[in-house]
Structure 1
């Protein structure tokens, strides 16, 4: 028989009452509810805040080009420099579209490309701007492409930028496919047989939105794909669509 030590001064926790357990349960439920609603508010306000601050920064940045000139003239109207900058950009576009403007810009470009360090910065900047150019003859991204990458059964969205003919035992047409990250200006370039490229019915703008949004704007009904040849097998448009949708649903 074990007897309790009368000199044992170890503190003992008081018995838990039903009211205390109820309060803890209510507190846990309230904490979970508040956390969930708080996160919902953050999710809703985050894109609004990013859009607001980005727009405000853009307006302030563009307005700063002409606002000092108006300030010297004693004209202090917020937004007037922004409107003037937009009008100036429009006139530059009109001038560059003319024969005289294209000649002037060609001479300026020739001069810049003769400068040792500046020519590399200008070339990289021009390639990025050419990707979103409305002029189809100068657009860097010619067509949207879906390629099998990095493993069999996985696909990547890219852009066809150019094509080249490879001469080995015969003629093989290779397409240069640029597969970007969500930064768009960073990615990899692959040379792929033109017959192995899946060409979805997507515009360049829609493909850029899919990449920048990390796939959240992916069409839920699938892509309208063209038939293509891979080896000796020819897959139809419906088979390609079902194959792509099944792979996408499996990853989810």
Structure 2
């Protein structure tokens, strides 16, 4: 009976490895489908109630059309963006903003939200396009951060009195990087990395398990020596 134990353990190990491999393959696909499906239904629940019945194809069909509300929302947002670029559209937007600016509480929320979207979505913006390391929470301990922008205004004046340039960085927690801390650090204390923000997010979410590939200069030279580029 003792001779059978290694075979049984080997079979159990193979089954476990096969299960873990299948889990690695299926789990991301299932989570992606679930998140996409949830987002589509969420968008439909917000948009469909405002669509007149005569324009809603579900009024003539016996089944629901997932994503129809999301499609309408994308079309409307794109149309508003198109109209907002001409003279009439800009006049309407300016008039609407002037009304919002007269509302004590609403104007604060509107200004802050608009500034965030303009900063993040601006084509030439460099916000959150770089990843770096800072010593946090104590010297010798390093934390991953996303570079936001250079410190400006009063913060730059107060913190840069000794001539040191300050940088605004976002320190996100693991494994859900949707909240975190806004920190201002000296540029000399920030170590920029070559990884992209997408790779940095993967590193955070996986708690360090998914590490982006990094090739040093020595490694690249060794690869070129083994596989020299073809001559043209």
Corresponding residue for residue 56 of structure 1: 37
Q: Distance in 2 between matches of 1:59 and 1:123?
A: 28
TM-score after normalising by structure 1: 0.60
Corresponding residue for residue 70 of structure 2: 82
Q: Among residues 14, 34, 37, which one is paired with 2:15 in the alignment?
A: 34
Corresponding residue for residue 172 of structure 1: 164
Aligned residues: 201
Are residues 142 and 32 of structure 1, via their aligned partners in 2, closer, same or farther at CA, if it must alter by over 3 Å?
closer
Q: CA deviation at 1:86?
A: 1.5
Larger Rg: 1
Corresponding residue for residue 215 of structure 2: 221
Structure 1: gaps of 5 or more residues: 1-19, 225-237, 239-252
Corresponding residue for residue 145 of structure 1: 132
Structure 2: gaps of 5 or more residues: 59-63, 219-232
Q: Distance in 1 between matches of 2:121 and 2:48?
A: 28
Whether the 8 Å contact between 2:159 and 2:166 is mirrored in structure 1 is: no
Could you say what the CA RMSD is over the residues aligned between the two structures, in angstroms? 3.9
Whether the 8 Å contact between 1:173 and 1:194 is mirrored in structure 2 is: yes
Q: Which structure carries more helix by proportion?
A: 2
Q: CA deviation at 1:57?
A: 1.2
Q: Distance in 2 between matches of 1:39 and 1:29?
A: 15
1:1-252 aligned at under 5 Å gives the runs: 20-68=1-49, 72-73=53-54, 75-76=57-58, 78=65, 79-95=67-83, 100=90, 103-104=94-95, 106-107=97-98, 109-110=100-101, 114-115=104-105, 129=117, 132-136=120-124, 141=128, 143-158=130-145, 159-163=147-151, 164-166=156-158, 170-182=162-174, 183-201=176-194, 204-205=197-198, 207-215=200-208, 216-221=210-215
Q: Distance in 2 between matches of 1:107 and 1:52?
A: 42
Are residues 93 and 108 of structure 1, via their aligned partners in 2, closer, same or farther at CA, if it must alter by over 3 Å?
farther
Q: CA deviation at 1:132?
A: 3.9
Q: Which structure carries more strand by proportion?
A: 1
Q: Distance in 1 between matches of 2:17 and 2:159?
A: 61
Q: CA deviation at 1:37?
A: 1.3
Whether the 8 Å contact between 1:96 and 1:105 is mirrored in structure 2 is: no
